[in-house]
Amino acid sequence: MVQTARGMIENLLYLVEKIGYIPNGSRVYYLGRSQPPLLAAMMASYVTATGDYAWLEQHITTLEKELNYWLTTKTVVVEIEGNKYTLLRYYADRKAIGPRPESYYEDFTNARILPNENIRNDFYSEIKSAAESGWDFSTRWFETSGEKVVGNLTKIHATQIIPVDLNSIFAGALQFAGNFRNVLKDRRGAQKWWSLANYWRKAIHNVMWDPVDGVWYDYDLHVKSHRKHFYPSCAAPLWADAVEKYDAPMYAAKLVKYLLSSGALNFPGGIPASVLHSGEQWDFPNAWPPLQSILIGGLDKSGYIEAKRLAKEQAELWIRSNYIGFSIWQKMFEKYCAVQPGRHGGGGEYQVQDGFGWTNGVALELLLRYGKSLTLDDQTISPVPSVRVV
């Protein structure tokens, strides 16, 4: 699998070399929109496993090209209490007007109710920007009134949201770039990226951390406030090492209290994408493998004992749900139902997919971490209390 992993990473590096970034998909109609900047983390995993520093030296400048793409095309300045911070948002190329070619009918149909061509083109840009996130689609990107989500897919404004997970991933990527330059004995290059990573971590704390609720929230540029709803992305700063290591247990202790009060950990089939029932596939009741990995991984690596206990408990629920589903259908699904273990999820613009790459990957990740202590006995999990779903 080492050769396979290297080949997959090199495919992505080729795209960066050819067009300057990794598009949303490897087809021409995906040009103008990217996807979360995980290339640095992929390279770090490969180099850690192999010690292939010659390969790293060969490709480091290509990685830096991708990081600079984000710094030059996706940044936005937000002002908090008189201080200005630069962070990232999803922002598809607005020159590529019109519906998404891969979902032309859906976009065209949704846009028909909008009053004029300019507003329809804005809608198409917002839809494409949300698609960059991978969360297509979710109440994360819908308009709000106060703390209530009032929008729907035609009231999407993804470009006005500063996402916790995007910026955490990017902070981690900047740190990796510094580490790579350091191991290649380029101290000046390392310091450049480390300094930027440190800036990003501080900006995430100052813009997105809510000290009262004890959680990181997305920030809404339009209403100039946090979006106070649960999403598993709230654990991304711990997962992506976007906090100082010595601060992680403190953050985790507060995050655990928030998670327990949110009700998001109360479901037998995994952690839902939200507790908002919108009908979109990245909302309740769907539970997605990457989101399990982020929240479980963030809690586990925090160093806080109660967080680690909850992480293992959620990992057990998730593996059990995967096992039940596979036992019934002999398939692994792209998403599952948080309410009913083993049942596949639904919603979205297409039929549920099976296979499935990230489901298999997260299952292997959790089995590697917890495999010897996991059980299929339901009695090992504490009783599931009820939770209010909006």
Two tokens, residue 262:
């949110």
CA distance 121 to 95: 10
∠ CA 120-125-129, nearest 5°, is 145
Specify whether 136 is catalytic.
yes
Two tokens, residue 348:
């979205």
The strand order across the sheet containing 225-226 reads: 161-162, 219-220, 225-226
Please classify residue 249 by burial: count the beta carbons closer than 10 Å to its beta carbon, then call 0-12 exposed, 13-18 middle and 19+ buried. middle
∠ CA 207-209-215, nearest 5°, is 150
Peptide bond into 237 cis (omega under 30): no
Specify whether 377 is catalytic.
no
3-state secondary structure (DSSP) of residue 71: helix
Q: Which of 64, 126, 132, 136 is catalytic?
A: 136
**Contact (Cβ atoms closer than 8 angstroms) between residue 159 and residue 126:** yes
Annotated catalytic residues are 136, 334
